[in-house]
Structure 1
Amino acid sequence: MTTFDPQTVLDSLEAEYAARATAIRRDLTASHSADSAEQAGERQNDEVLQALLVEAEQGQAQAAQAKLRLSGGSYGLCQRCGVAIAPARLQALPTAAFCLGCADLAE
């Protein structure tokens, strides 16, 4: 059984999201076809890529925020109620800022 190392996991997540965002930005700057029918499909693809870019940027920001909490000593504590976040939740969602109860309230 491996030990959960939040710093390593968060560093990896942040790098993964950054690489994903870079690749998506590169794809978005690719030129489009001169054919109008193909352009319509490419524009739809661009919309999907834009949504994926937003997700990647949000993931990168969440990882960075979690790293700040880790360095500040508040990682693993719910940002709403202050209760310790379950270790299983942190392993499944290393960027979790809320305990399960508070996360349910936020939704």
Structure 2
Amino acid sequence: MTNGKSAATAATVAKAPVEPGDLAVRPGEDPWTREEVEEARSELEGEAARLREEIASAERALARLMRDSGDGAGDDQADTGAKNITREHELALASAANETLTQTEHALERLDAGAYGLCESCGNAIGKARMQAFPRATLCVECKQKQERRH
């Protein structure tokens, strides 16, 4: 202990939770309150749980489709096409849910790190109202518009 702090104290200080008022807001917006942060966290955690269940359900449906498809002997073209469309639909649902889950987990990480509400492109505040409407937002409106114009 050279600087008067134990390693445990230093670790505790390093992992101190971010205070709600430290989260980014645009000029003129009120700072985040503890209740607003907890509401955002609760919404994100609930969304993550729902998405995990959706992904598990899609995976079960895909496993069932694969098991029931057998070799396709006796299926006509319509049956085969319908099975393929159903399988592709389940794959698309699982993929979309996985992408949204990744974004949701990233938002929770940003919340824990104190970067929630900061634009990942320009570093400016995204805006509390935007974050409350779309808790997974990583870009301010201006950067999002620029991104959409490029694509």
**TM-score normalised to the size of structure 1?**
0.88
Between stretches 46-55 and 26-35, larger displacement belongs to 26-35
Give the whole-Å Cα distance in 2 for the aligned partners of 1:49 and 1:93: 25
- After TM superposition, list the pairs within 5 Å mapping 1:45-84 onto structure 2: 45-84=86-125
Quick one: percent identity of the two aligned structures? 30
The alpha carbon displacement at 1:104 in A equals 1.2
Residue identity opposite 2:57 in structure 1: A
Residue identity opposite 2:63 in structure 1: T
From the CA coordinates, give the structure whose radius of gyration is larger. 2
Q: 1:89 matched to which residue of 2?
A: 130
**TM-score normalised to the size of structure 2?**
0.64
| Number of equivalenced pairs | 105
* Per-residue CA distance 1:38-66 (angstroms, 9 max, x = gap): 23201111111111111000010001111
Q: Which runs of 4+ in 1 moved over 3 A?
A: none
Please state if 1:29 is matched with 2:63. yes
Give the whole-Å Cα distance in 1 for the aligned partners of 2:63 and 2:134: 32
Structure 2 stretches of 5 or more lacking a match? 1-34
Give the whole-Å Cα distance in 1 for the aligned partners of 2:86 and 2:126: 38
Structure 1 stretches of 5 or more lacking a match? none
